[in-house]
A = this chain, B = another copy of it.
Amino acid sequence: MNWTMAARAERMNPSFIREILKVTERPGIISFAGGLPSPKTFPIAEVNAAVTKILTEDGEAALQYATSEGYSPLREAVAKMLPWDVSPDQVLITTGSQQGLDLIAKILIDKDSIIWVESPTYLGAVQAFTPMEPRVVSVACDDDGLDVELLEVQLKNTPADQKPRFLYLLPNFQNPTGRTMPESRRAKLSVLAKAYGLCLVEDNPYGDLWFDQEPPDTLTSRNPEGTIYLGSFSKILAPGLRLGFMVLPSVLYPKMLQAKQAADLHTPSLNQRVLYELLHSDFIPKHKPSIRALYKSQLEAMLGALEREMPATVTWNKPIGGMFLWLTLPKHIQSQALLHKAVEQGIAFVPGAAFYANESETEHNKLRLSFVTASVEQINKGIAILAKCIADEDGFQPTRE
Contact = CB atoms under 8 A, between A and B. Distances in A.
Given A63-B238, A102-B264, A111-B111, 7 more contacts: A2-B199, A44-B63, A48-B59, A96-B265, A102-B262, A127-B262, A241-B269
Contact of A255 (B9, B225, B240): B9
B18 A42 contact: no
Contact of A132 (B6, B12, B110, B240): B6
A179 interface: no
B6 A107 contact: yes
A110 B6 contact: yes
Given A63-B239, A110-B6, A255 B223 contact: no
Interface of A: 1-9, 12-15, 18, 34-37, 39, 42, 44-45, 47-48, 51-52, 55-56, 59-66, 68, 95-96, 98-99, 101-102, 106-111, 113, 124, 127-128, 130-132, 165, 197, 199, 223, 225-226, 234, 238-242, 249, 251-252, 254-255, 258-259, 261-271
A98 B260 CA distance: 11
B267 A12 contact: no
19 contacts: A6-B106, A6-B108, A13-B258, A18-B68, A18-B261, A44-B55, A47-B55, A62-B240, A63-B240, A65-B234, A66-B240, A95-B95, A95-B264, A98-B262, A102-B264, A111-B111, A124-B265, A240-B268, A241-B270
B267 A225 contact: no
A45 B62 CA distance: 13
A60 B48 contact: no
A124 B262 contact: yes
A101 B262 CA distance: 8
Interface centre among A42, A52, A68, by most chain B C-beta atoms within 10 angstroms, is A42
A38 to B, nearest CB: 9
B255 A267 contact: no
A106 B105 CA distance: 12
A52 B60 contact: no
A107 B270 contact: no
A74 to B, nearest CB: 14
Protomer copies: 2
A49 B118 CA distance: 46
Contact of A251 (B3, B14, B63, B266): B3
B127 A261 contact: yes
Given A1-B226, A98-B264, A63 B51 contact: no
Contacts of A9: 106-107, 255, 259
B2 A197 contact: yes
A158 B343 CA distance: 55
B265 A241 contact: no
A46 to B, nearest CB: 10
A270 B242 CA distance: 10
A6 B252 CA distance: 11
A164 B327 CA distance: 50
A108 B240 contact: no
Contacts of A51: 48, 51-52
A47 B42 CA distance: 20
A68 B95 CA distance: 13
Nearest to A12: B258
A225 B1 contact: yes
B63 A47 contact: yes
B132 A14 contact: no
B36 A60 contact: no
Contacts of A199: 1-3
A270 B268 CA distance: 11
B65 A261 contact: no
A291 to B, nearest CB: 13
Nearest to A197: B2
